Amino acid sequence: DAGVTQSPTHLIKTRGQQVTLRCSPKSGHDTVSWYQQALGQGPQFIFQYYEEEERQRGNFPDRFSGHQFPNYSSELNVNALLLGDSALYLCASSLFSVRQDTQYFGPGTRLTVL
Amino acid sequence: AQSVSQHNHHVILSEAASLELGCNYSYGGTVNLFWYVQYPGQHLQLLLKYFSGDPLVKGIKGFEAEFIKSKFSFNLRKPSVQWSDTAEYFCAVNEDNAGNMLTFGGGTRLMVKP
């Protein structure tokens, strides 16, 4: 039973560039959430996707956008990168029909912006 | 917006010592409460969760947590820690009417000395 997978593992970009991070949910899950974890802090909710639509959004600017594909995998896009976007980006999956379903987290993508 | 506070950022214990990690949240409505753990080099894993019922919740690896509604607290406990419990622990809260978006505390880094 495959867990949540994310790619790439590490990424280095420069300010102003754009980045795309990818996530495949745990087998059987249909909902993907993205979190940003800055160094020394807890994860912060970015947004959640279900049925290819953004369902919830945290306090992040429009530079952060996402997409969900018919196979439930998801992408997180960040435009016009800032130094402060350097963080570990976590993907979590769950089953929408199960109220308050446990979220399973992936290993994360470490983004460094220079 | 709700917030989650973990008062201890770093805790160092010797093996067999008892553990209690504090967690307080600010939201006054119905909440669901979680403790996640991140072992070195691994992804976030669920330790235990509280939705309703008995406020004393038992999780994996001998951990338990008590929900005290009047104190807005959900402290994590373990009677006797092991070296393998060395990890970072995150408390998280979900508002009952807010999908399954999680608000995390800043984390507590636990080191258990053999």
Any A CB within 8 A of B1 CB? yes
CATH topology of domain A5-113: Immunoglobulin-like (2.60.40)
A108 in contact with B, Cβ within 8 Å: yes
Read off the pLDDT band of B1 (50, 70, 90): low
- pLDDT at residue A100 tops 90: no
In 3-state terms, what secondary structure has residue B27?
Answer: coil
- pLDDT, average across residues B15-26: 96
Say whether B107 and A42 touch across the interface (CB within 8 A). Answer: yes
CB contact under 8 A, A102 and B49: yes
Instruction: Place B4 in a pLDDT band, splitting at 50, 70 and 90.
Output: very high
Above pLDDT 90, what percent of chain A?
Answer: 89
* Rama region for A5: left / alpha / beta (φ>0; ψ in -120 to 50; rest): beta
Contact B78, B22 (CB under 8 A): no
Structure confidence at residue B27 as a pLDDT band (50, 70, 90): confident
Which chain B residues are Cβ-neighbours of A35 within 8 angstroms? Answer: 102, 104
pLDDT of residue B2: 78
Q: Which two tokens stand for residue A95?
A: 């089953």
Contacting B residues, span 64-93, partner chain A, CB-CB under 8 Å:
90, 92
Residue A1 banded pLDDT, cuts 50, 70, 90 = low
**Both structure tokens of B96:** 């009952």
With a cut of 70, say whether residue B53 has pLDDT above it.
yes
For residues B24-44, give the mean pLDDT.
91
Identify the structural domains of chain B with CATH numbers, from first to last: 4-113 (2.60.40.10)
CB contact under 8 A, B44 and A40: no
pLDDT at B97: 72
Which of A103, A109, A110 is best to mutate for the B interface (most B CBs within 10 A)?
A103
Are A107 and A85 contacting, i.e. CB atoms less than 8 angstroms apart? no
